[in-house]
Amino acid sequence: MTRPRILSARDILEIDRRSLIAGSAAAGAAALLGGVPALADDKPVTAIMPGPFIPDAVRLLIEKKAATKVENAPYVSPTDTLAKLLAPGGTSRYDLMISVTPFVRNPILGAKSGDEKVAPLDLSLIPNAVKIMDLFKPDIITRDGKTYMLPVVWGYDSVIYNADKIPPEDSLTQSWGVLFDDKYAGHIAWRDDAHGMILTAGLHLGMSDPAALSASDLKKVTGFLTEKKKNVRTMWSTFGSAVSLMSSGEVWAMYGWIPMRAALQKRGMNVTNNWPKEGLLIWSQGAFIPKDSPNAKASHAVINAYLDTEVGKTLAAETNYPTTSAEISGAFSPEERRKLGLDIVERGVKVYPLKFPTAMDQWLEAWNTVKSA
């Protein structure tokens, strides 16, 4: 939930007065010193990040540890985040962005050195960066020896299922096949998303790197999905509709997200997720600072706060989303670690990173073919 913000006329006048003073001081200081605006540290960090990454309890902790307020704009999608960064003025409009690492990596770096839309991170201001798990160190984005993005939150997509209807120990349950097999026809839901569904179908069909499908493989996956569509009760596209489908009993299993599992369990349902033997889809979301942000120092502090152990524990407890800090695992019992998925490396769970295909347009076309079949 966002913090309440009610502006009175006095607030508006105060903001205008403050802006005028800040602007004048900035102009004067910049003229004299050529440096950063004097009142930058008083400004809140204007951020774009998924709302579930900053529930109230986490917000309070982060703001305390970073000694700055965080004001997050509504998060729409990685595409929208990039659009807002790349639009004119985008590199100074926001101070911090957190979005899906593989999707934003190339656009924010640009084609070559010097094209970056983001500022290099000063790791001396992010001492908690050393705590990042080995599993996500490849998601630390660098170029020419400079770090531009750090993974701060991670998660996984899997099958969320009702354990009262579907036995957990069944080999079908512990695979992506539960979304496709005829056994649960009429009681499954797919996500209306080309990327996730084609990846899972590719994994289920035994393709080792489904993000790099050839044209013939894509055709094979499309045919498979079209054939299995008859087993699908419906497709969901929002969090609310997905959770409603499970909680009403309309579906017993669906492609799902971590917080869906948490929401359904909070309502007393015997719902859990599987650990697909073909490969759990894992992802990380990275934090980066637009290159012309006037509040970069505070943004560094916020990133550092996200990698703090206490913040990681709180976020995992509130939303089940872990941060990429390796230290939070120790804060939970073995049973909780297993439930949250913090022990996937120890357990040897096969994982597949949620990579984005180069031919996403073909995937979208394929998915439309499936939907219209």
Partner 1 sequence: MSMVSATTDFPRPAATTRAPRAARNPWKAAVVIYAAAFYCFLYGPIAIIALLSFNKSEVTGLPFLGATTHWYHVVFSRPDLMAALFNSISLGLLSGAMATTIAFLLGLAFRRGFFGQRVVLGLVLLPILMPGIIGGIVLLIFFGYLGIRPGLYSTVLVAHVNWVLPFVFLTLNARLQGLDRAMEEAAADLGARTHQVMWRVVLPIIRPALIATLLFSFSLSFDEFIRTLFVIGYDRTIPVVFWIAIVERLSPELPAMAVITVLISTAGSLLGFAFSARSRIKNS
Instruction: Tell me which residues touch partner 1 (CB under 8 A).
Output: 1-7, 12, 44, 46, 50-52, 71-74, 76, 83-84, 87-90, 92-93, 238-241, 243-244, 247-248, 259, 263, 267
Nearer to partner 1, 12 or 30 (CB): 12
- Quickly count: other Cβ atoms within 10 Å of residue 154's Cβ: 23
Which residue's structure tokens are 């802006």?
19
Phi, psi torsion values for 283, nearest 5 degrees: -145, 160
Q: Which residues contact 209 (CB under 8 A, 6 or more apart)?
A: none
Could you tell me the two tokens for 132? 């990042």
Residue type, position 209, single letter: D
Which residue(s) pair with 142 in the sheet? 147
**Residue whose tokens read 């007065």:** 17
CB of 75 to partner 1, least distance (A): 8
Cβ nearer to partner 1, comparing 238 with 372: 238
CB contact at 8 A, 283 and 354: yes
- Output 124 or 248, the one with its CB closest to partner 1: 248
Please say whether the beta carbons of 121 and 303 come within 8 A. Answer: yes
For the CB of residue 309, give the shortest distance to partner 1 in the complex, in Å: 25
* Least distance between partner 1 and beta carbon 172 (Å): 27
Tokens representing 93?
A: 């409009």
Alpha-carbon distance of 91 to 93, in angstroms, equals 6
Please identify, using beta-carbon distances, which residue of 88 and 114 lies nearer to partner 1.
Answer: 88
Using alpha carbons only, give the angle 274, 278, 282 rounded to the nearest 5 degrees.
65
Smallest separation (angstroms) from partner 1 to the CB of 58: 14
CB of 76 to partner 1, least distance (A): 7
Nearer to partner 1, 1 or 111 (CB): 1
Q: Could you tell me the smallest distance in angstroms from the CB atom of residue 266 to partner 1?
A: 9
CA-CA distance, 330 to 14, in Å (whole number)? 46
Which of residues 269 and 351 has its CB atom nearest to partner 1 in the complex?
269
Residue among 90 and 177 whose Cβ is closer to partner 1: 90
Residue 316 near residue 322 (C-beta atoms within 8 A): yes
Say if CB 201 and CB 225 are below 8 A apart: yes
Question: Is 22:39 a contact under the CB 8 Å cutoff?
Answer: yes
Q: How far is the CB of 237 from partner 1 (least distance, A)?
A: 9
Least spacing, CB of residue 269 vs partner 1, in Å: 10
Of 243 and 366, CB closest to partner 1: 243
Bridge partners of 284? 154
